[in-house]
Chain A
Amino acid sequence: MEQNSERTLLVVESIKKYFSTKGGLFKPDKWLKAVDGVSFDVKNDSVFALVGESGCGKSTLARLILKLLFLTEGRILFKGEDISGMTGESLRRFRRSVQIVFQDPFASLNPRMRVIDTLSEPLRIHKLVARRETREKVVQLLEKVGLNQSILNKYPHEFSGGQRQRICIARALSVSPQLIVADEPLSALDVSIQAQILNLLQDLKKETAISLILISHDLNVVHYLSDEVAVMYLGKIVEKAKTEDMFRSPKHPYTELLLSSVPKINFRGHESRLASSKPTVKQGYDVSKPGSEPDSDAPSPLNIPPGCPFHPRCPKRFDVCDKVVPTLKVSGDSLVSCHLY
């Protein structure tokens, strides 16, 4: 709560991250544009969601925010301070303020460390509590995520996926961060367990002033938890809006495609249930027509189409779409990168 004076916690300013890929003997090296000019900001005490298909650069973006990768261009300000310039004590403070929860709780806990070791390590490194009080603090953390002290001396392999993800969340919380980046925190979990973790995140959002960057491909989860959403496509943000606005009236054709693709439960039961009458997903190309470059999947970020990167799949494309790259423009309450607006 001490940060109430500043409304924005994190500012991301037209950042780029290019990876170089080695060409062959006679082939030049290529640049993979994983993140290509992305800007947004995260307000205090809010949930910002990033959605998009695999390969759109959302995980790279997460790692850039945590300074686990270095920027090619642009800058990221955390509480007004440029993170790329941070060293020594300021970097240490930054590392304490920003934490990450990874997708796979099976891979992100050290199998040789007991729960108490895993959770007390960050406390020790950041010298947050006296050694005598460490155990007490760890128990408090466990209780916060719905676990109890009986598990203190257990190893990760003794837990189910949901319990492990709780431990990962407790570890992220241990240093009292101001921002948590959650990279697909639910996708490795079973349906009945997802709700437990979702409730936990919801409670944390209510009880603490932590901001959350939620990276997910599950649009139901994003709708449920987030305040603001940015949709990414091939390294760029194509639409950014308040969650409610976006789910009520998506603007970019890609957002529309994403939303219409989510399988929905029909609790009323009617004839339109079967796929025959479901609004069909526009594939944006004609299979029978020779020469139309035909891929229903997202193109590789190594080979981004000219003009609007979405145009080969877009059902609403018109003549300028394959020539001019659209920019993010204000349209109503949202930002959209599409020639239609």
Chain B
Amino acid sequence: MLNMSFPLLNINGLSISFNTERGPLQVVSKISLTIRNAEVFGLVGESGCGKSLTALSILRILPNNAYTEGEIFFNNENLLSLPDDQMRKIRGKDISMVFQEPMTSLNPVLTIGYQIAEALRTHYKLSKGAAMDRTIDLLRAVKMPSAELRVKDYPHQLSGGMRQRVLIAMAISCNPALLIADEPTTALDVTVQAQILELLQELRRQRNMAIMLITHDLGIISEQAERVAIMYAGRIMEVADVDELFQNPLHPYTICLLESLPRAKGTALKPIPGFVPSPNQLPKGCKFSDRCRWATDESKSKEPELLEVSRNHYVRCINWNRIQRERF
């Protein structure tokens, strides 16, 4: 490790549970991960695996009936134990977020300029005029054409890609050290998606900002991220550098995901059998064991730990060694 000081974000044993009528229901279980300065960290998983909840818990904007255990250190400060008013100073300033749906995350009755300026005025106590000047600069930074006219537009006057640019402008307005992007391009067409991803990379380089990129698209991860965590059923199954993950996947879930993607034409795909279990019906041992073709009695009865099997490569599987030998 070159950086001997603490990482930018360090999640340590984070669990998220919901209070339900039938008692507490744990949906994210003991997640640990670190995000370094200015890196793009990819968080991959299918819907319902807890990746968005993890993101929301960092900003402490989980629904009211959810509670967290564990620690989230940001700049060596535990976010989960900060008083509310201090958290408010971090939220939207040092850590900010871009959501999936650019339509639903903008207020339809306010101009986009007002909405972007709001964060600046709150965090920097800028005057209206000064905030508006900064807003125009921000819109230029996200490549919004004719920015000085567009500030007065309402969200419905913009296309999906332009709205996502507005959200990004809002998120970077206070120069955050960490930007959480939760499926930022899922609602967009491929050509627009490519532009938005390129924009995020450019902003990251200019502003030295780390990005936590949440997606289900392994292609996006391969092109954009430096480190990747694969989540399944509220657990992290594998963490590795991106090249390592795609060249040498070790967890059965990662292997199966990669095998299930269409590649050579006409050859049968290898789909993952079954479906993602709901959080109250998880198998007893390894949470993937009911769909895993390498499952053993041991992995079905006892949940494995996330172990570092080679430098910076973590896997939650007791059979990884055997599987690797069998595959090659």
Chain A contact residues, CB within 8 Å of chain B: 53-54, 160, 162-163, 190-196, 198-199, 202, 217, 219-221, 223-225, 243-244, 257-258, 260-270, 273-276, 278, 280-281, 283, 285, 287, 290, 294-298
Of A192, A221, A269, A275, the residue contacting B257 (CB under 8 A) is A192
Contact present for B276 and A192 (CB under 8 Å)? yes
Q: Out of A193, A221, A263, A296, name the residue touching B217 (CB < 8 Å).
A: A263
1/0 per residue B248-289: CB within 8 Å of A?
A: 000000001110111101101111100110000000000000
Chain B proximity of A316: nearest CB distance (Å): 15
Any A CB within 8 A of the CB of B160: yes
Check A263 against B223 for contact (C-beta < 8 Å): yes
Which of B198, B246, B266 meets A265, CB within 8 Å? B246
Kindly count the residue-residue contacts between A and B in the assembled complex, taking CB atoms under 8 Å apart: 150
Q: Contacts A190-B276, A191-B257, A285-B145 given; indicate if A261 touches B191 (C-beta within 8 A).
A: yes
- One digit per residue, 1 when the CB lies within 8 angstroms of any chain A CB and 0 when it does not, for chain B 112-152 equals 00000000000000000000000000001001011000000
Please tell me if the beta carbons of A199 and B268 are within 8 angstroms of each other in the complex. yes
Quick one: given A265-B246, A273-B243, A281-B198, are A191 and B220 in contact (CB under 8 Å)?
A: no
Q: Mark B198-212, 1 if CB is under 8 A from A, else 0.
A: 100110010000000
- Report B-chain residues with C-beta under 8 Å of the C-beta of A199: 268-269, 271
Chain B residues at the A interface, C-beta cutoff of 8 Å = 46-47, 140, 143, 145-146, 159-162, 189-195, 197-198, 201-202, 205, 216-220, 222-224, 242-244, 246-247, 256-258, 260-263, 265-266, 268-272, 275-276
Residue in chain A with minimal CB distance to B193:
A261
Please name all residues of chain A whose beta carbon is closer than 8 Å to the beta carbon of B263 when the two chains form the complex: 224
Distance (whole angstroms) from the CB of B179 to the closest CB of chain A = 15
B219-A264 in contact (CB<8A):
yes
User: In the complex, which residue of chain B has the Cβ closest to the Cβ of A224?
Assistant: B262
A287 adjacent to B143 (CB under 8 Å): yes
B224 nearest in chain A by CB position: A275
- Shortest distance from the beta carbon of B281 to any chain A beta carbon, whole Å: 12
Which of A53, A262, A268, A295 has the most chain B CB atoms inside 10 A of its CB?
A262
Per a CB cutoff under 8 Å, which of A190, A243, A297 touches B47?
A190
B-chain residues with CB within 8 Å of residue A220 when the two chains form the complex = 261-262
19 of the cross-chain contacts (CB-CB < 8 Å) are A190-B47, A192-B272, A192-B275, A195-B272, A202-B268, A221-B262, A224-B265, A244-B265, A261-B193, A262-B190, A263-B222, A265-B258, A269-B244, A275-B201, A275-B202, A276-B201, A281-B191, A297-B160, A298-B189
Q: With a CB–CB cut-off of 8 A, which chain A residues contact B195?
A: 281, 283, 296
CB pair A264–B145 under 8 Å, yes or no, is no
- Please give me the 3 A-B residue pairs with the lowest Cβ-Cβ distance, nearest first: A294-B145, A269-B243, A263-B219
* A261 and B260 form a contact (CB under 8 A): no
Q: Chain A nearest CB: distance from B295 CB in Å?
A: 16
- The residue that B271 contacts in the complex, of A192, A269, A270, A283, with Cβ under 8 A, is A192
Interface centre among A195, A224, A258 (most CB of B within 10 A): A195
Q: A54 vs B190: C-alpha distance in the bound complex, in angstroms?
A: 10
Q: How far is the CB of B210 from chain A (nearest CB, A)?
A: 15
Residue among A192, A219, A258, A276 with the most chain B CB within 10 A? A192
Could you tell me if A195 and B261 are in contact, using CB atoms closer than 8 angstroms?
A: yes
B193 neighbours in A (Cβ, 8 Å): 261, 263
| Min C-beta distance of B175 to chain A, whole Å | 21
Please tell me if the beta carbons of A195 and B219 are within 8 angstroms of each other in the complex.
no
CA distance A284 to B263 in the complex (A): 31
Whether B271 pairs with A274 at a CB distance below 8 angstroms is: no
CB-contact partner of A267 in B198, B246, B256, B271, under 8 A: B246
Q: A266-B246, A273-B242, A285-B145 are in contact. Are A261 and B262 (CB under 8 A)?
A: no
Chain B hits for A191, CB < 8 A: 46, 216, 218, 257, 260-261
CB-based contact A54/B243 at 8 Å: no
Does B162 contact A192, Cβ atoms closer than 8 Å? no
**Chain A proximity of B205: nearest CB distance (Å):** 8
B198 touches A280 (CB 8 A): yes
Which chain B residues border A266 with CB–CB below 8 Å?
A: 222-223, 243, 246
